[in-house]
Structure 1
Amino acid sequence: MVVEKVINNNLVRSYNEDNTEVLVIGCGLGFKKKPGDVIETSLIEKIYTIQDKKTSNQLIELLSSVPNEHIQTANAIVSYAKKALDCKISDNIYISLTDHLSYAIQRYEEGINFKNALIWEIKKYYSREYKVGLEALNIIETRLNIRLPEDEAGYIALHLVGASLKVGNVMESTDMLGMIQNILQIVKYQLNIEFDEESIHYERFLTHLKFFAQRIISNKSLEDDNEELIKTIQKEYKREYKCALKIREYIESHFSKFLTDTELIYLTVHIKRIAL
């Protein structure tokens, strides 16, 4: 790769072998470089593939203003998360997590600590992401000699949830968390049951609700394709279907979204399993 434009001493714009615009970061990578110069491979720390002009501008603004050690730390956390969670994580995480991390460090240095009001729910419903968040605190301490409070593990977990489920931002991840929690309460109340949180059925239901919440927030509900099946569900699983209808009422009143019959079918089936 060759330099297309020097942004600063540590950041240059270039194009990869597919002729796609990239931002290349590395300590001293742009020092005394000019357009057309070959990029020193040994100095490359991270290559960001640019999807659109907006993303390019956001990345340039962020990477130009954030200390390089914060960027390196965020990249290390993302690398660890990808391995630990073993799932696809949107590259947008590099923007959102780097920005959050740098601001969190700034707050810490100023003696400002934001309490995470959702920490209990995050531990409970996104336990894998939360464990990654805890390890992220260790990575931060090792690299920057700063020990951020446990609340930050929860915030990092929410960023990972949003990036792995491809929702827009932490606010949407928070909405999803509230939705899952309230749906579980509806099921418990309607069926008068207590969940066996160690059971495989509970785990499957929780997984279903995560993707269900993602679809609702992203306006991508499952399409209707089986009218006969919904009739069978209504007849055979009356109590569970009635519970699913309560969930639909909740979604409509709180999120102004309409659930398809197919979504109701899947909810009913999972509710039936968990109520056994």
Structure 2
Amino acid sequence: MEVKKVLNNNVVIALHSELDEVILTGKGIGFGKKEGDPVDESGAEKFFVLKNEQEQEQYKQLLIEVDESFIGCMNDCMTMLENRFQVQLHEHIHVALTDHLYYAVHRIKQGMEIRNPFLQETELAYPAEYQAARDLLFHLETCTGIPMPEGEIGFVALHIHTALTQRPLQELNEHTRLVSGLVERIEETLEVSMNTKNLDHQRLLRHLHQTLERIQRGDYGDEPDSLKNVLKYEYPVCYNLSWKLITMMQQALKTPVPESEVVYLTLHLQRLSRKHK
């Protein structure tokens, strides 16, 4: 490879014989280099082939704007995540999460408050990613000296889940907001207050998230009509509430929800309702 452009001492854009333009990051990899100089891949801590031109330009701009120490810290964070989950993360996270956290730190320095109304839903839906995000932000605090608010854990957890599953971040945000709306309807109808430390509540919230994922994938079966009929007459309040929740899902997702979900939801809701009587 040969250098196309030196962005700073730790980042260069290079030309690869097969991959065309690539981004290399590593301590001192750009020091003393100029256009046309050879560069050895073995000296790079990270090797990016950003095939999406828009992402490529966005990351280049970030590398120019962001402090070298911050880029180094983010590289450490990516290594931590890859070691933790034993995967090679989708490269999009390098752009999206670096961009998100750089501006989050900037807002915090300016005294702007960062709120996350869906923190509990995110923790219950993606517990492994949530704990990884907590540890990542602790490392970022060590690097920057800037205390990160708890709400950021949820935002970072969604970025991590996106990188692991390659699900769009927008889809995850929409699902999290939808689950929050479903919970409000459940609390209002059953006159309960959801407690995320309660095991039954945790199961219900996880079930709602998993339901949305199954619907999105088209991955679901069906239940015998006889079981639906039994639940309809045995637990009419929870059964009717289940249909209202399904209607909310259908309207939000703009796709049909299988009737089999009525069975699962009714059983979860009845368990919840019985515990609060």
Q: TM-score range by the shorter chain?
A: 0.7 to 0.9
Alignment partner, residue 209 of structure 1: 208
Deviation at 1:146, TM superposition (A): 2.7
Alignment partner, residue 247 of structure 1: 245
Distance in 2 between the 1:88 and 1:204 partners? 30
Identical positions, percent: 22
Distance in 2 between the 1:237 and 1:165 partners? 35
Moved more, 133-142 or 238-247: 238-247
Matched, 1:3 2:25: no
Alignment partner, residue 60 of structure 1: 60
Matched, 1:265 2:260: yes
Q: How many residues align?
A: 263
Distance in 1 between the 2:266 and 2:86 partners? 28
Give 3-state SS (helix, strand or coil) of 1:27's partner.
coil
Report if the CA contact (8 A) 1:4-1:14 is conserved. Answer: yes
Alignment partner, residue 96 of structure 1: 96
Q: TM-score, normalised by structure 2?
A: 0.73
- Structure 1: where are the runs of 5+ without partners? none
Give 3-state SS (helix, strand or coil) of 1:140's partner.
helix
Alignment partner, residue 46 of structure 1: 46
Distance in 2 between the 1:210 and 1:41 partners? 42
Pair 73,232 (structure 1): closer, same or farther in 2 beyond 3 Å: farther
Deviation at 1:153, TM superposition (A): 2.7
Instruction: List per-residue Cα deviations over 1:108-160 (Å, max 9, x = no partner).
Output: 33333333344454455544433333322321132223323333333323332
Alignment partner, residue 181 of structure 1: 180
Pair 248,7 (structure 1): closer, same or farther in 2 beyond 3 Å: farther
Deviation at 1:99, TM superposition (A): 0.6
Distance in 1 between the 2:221 and 2:131 partners? 39
Give 3-state SS (helix, strand or coil) of 2:48's partner.
strand
Pair 213,135 (structure 1): closer, same or farther in 2 beyond 3 Å: same
- Structure 2: where are the runs of 5+ without partners? 272-277
Superposition map of 1:224-239 within 5 A: 229=223, 231-238=225-232, 239=235
Give 3-state SS (helix, strand or coil) of 1:147's partner.
coil
What's the C-alpha RMSD, in Å, of the aligned pairs?
3.6
Report if the CA contact (8 A) 2:116-2:152 is conserved. Answer: yes
Give 3-state SS (helix, strand or coil) of 2:23's partner.
strand
Alignment partner, residue 27 of structure 2: 27
Distance in 2 between the 1:163 and 1:246 partners? 33
Distance in 2 between the 1:3 and 1:211 partners? 47
Deviation at 1:178, TM superposition (A): 2.1
Q: TM-score, normalised by structure 1?
A: 0.74
Instruction: List per-residue Cα deviations over 1:152-200 (Å, max 9, x = no partner).
Output: 333323332443443433x54333222223334445666677879554x
Report if the CA contact (8 A) 1:187-1:271 is conserved. Answer: no
